[in-house]
Structure 1
């Protein structure tokens, strides 16, 4: 028995291309934010390998820092999406919402990693005893935190943002009703 071929006659038939609108319930956005913050690899590793130090300071676990950044960045990302949709009506599809989160997440991760690398360079320069030692500390710091750390940070940021985008697209949004065309001009205000 032959299976029927999958046909995509309209762009809306492609996966992720259905027009969406905000869910009307008040708990949808906070629920999407909480689900987005709770990135499964992060939560699972915290449960399996608990951090040695829970107190903020010099030796805090990077997973706790990432969780704190997510608690700030996820609601901020949802507010940016809301403002962009109010102004331009975009992103209008689930795929567009996921792509926006991935773009913003990658840029945020890259920017934060660059700030960390520059901060470590300044600390290395201040802590050095002479100019040559400061140059060596700068080179080593940029190689470790800039060259080696930047791709890893972007990979983690985009992965986290993919999860957040999927949570936002499927929890905070529902398919939009089909637009009705005004063929006879009866729906316009004639007053």
Structure 2
């Protein structure tokens, strides 16, 4: 059984740096966008409608959001590392992606519920139908859809975070001990 003396000994907690190769970040972003459950279901059950409009396949919407969110996650991590030096480990990179992925999924589902509620108001004939449409929309898209959307968003972000942590980052070199006291000057 493994014994961990400090928190830094836990798996995923060792310090990391960006890989030196230029292709590492685009490759990690591309791998992060290609979430296996999404790609497999698109290959096995192709969407009926590929064009944006009234009935676009939700998997295409999720893939489009991933095309924007994964590079934005890399940008956010680069900015945070430049400012604070964090996340300093692979575990920190994965956690950042999962947090932001869950937040993006919750925000998009909330936006969808609110827009469907407004469409229900517009399509209703009177106030009673508008109130009924609001109740139904918020129950379906808000109460029932929000946990599912967050689950999908966090799962997608977990995959993207693992791709980022293992493709775009490398273990940091060991710190050199300052035996003569000249490094700190």
TM-score normalized by structure 2? 0.97
Distance 2:3 2:99 in 1: 30
Given the alignment of the two structures, is residue 67 of structure 1 paired with residue 63 of structure 2, yes or no? yes
**Aligned equivalent of 1:145:** 141
Q: Deviations over 1:49-96 (max 9, x none)?
A: 000011111111000000000000000000000000010000100001
Match for residue 48 of structure 2 among 31, 38, 52: 52
Distance 1:150 1:144 in 2: 9
Given the alignment of the two structures, is residue 167 of structure 1 paired with residue 163 of structure 2, yes or no? yes
**Aligned equivalent of 2:116:** 120
Moved over 3 A (4+): none
Match for residue 176 of structure 1 among 168, 172, 176: 172
Given the alignment of the two structures, is residue 16 of structure 1 paired with residue 37 of structure 2, yes or no? no
The Cα of 1:6 is off from its aligned counterpart by 1.8
Gaps of 5+ in 1: none
Q: Deviations over 1:125-148 (max 9, x none)?
A: 011010010000000000000000
Distance 2:184 2:102 in 1: 44
The Cα of 1:11 is off from its aligned counterpart by 2.9
TM-score normalized by structure 1? 0.94
**Aligned equivalent of 2:127:** 131
Match for residue 103 of structure 1 among 83, 99, 110: 99
**Number of residues of Structure 1 aligned to a counterpart in Structure 2:** 185
SS where residue 179 of structure 1 aligns?
coil
Distance 2:85 2:135 in 1: 46
Distance 2:26 2:18 in 1: 13
Distance 1:188 1:138 in 2: 64
Given the alignment of the two structures, is residue 38 of structure 1 paired with residue 34 of structure 2, yes or no? yes
Distance 2:156 2:116 in 1: 24
**Aligned equivalent of 1:27:** 23
C-alpha RMSD of the superposition = 0.9
The Cα of 1:7 is off from its aligned counterpart by 2.0
Given the alignment of the two structures, is residue 79 of structure 1 paired with residue 62 of structure 2, yes or no? no
Greater Rg over alpha carbons, structure = 1
Distance 2:131 2:183 in 1: 72
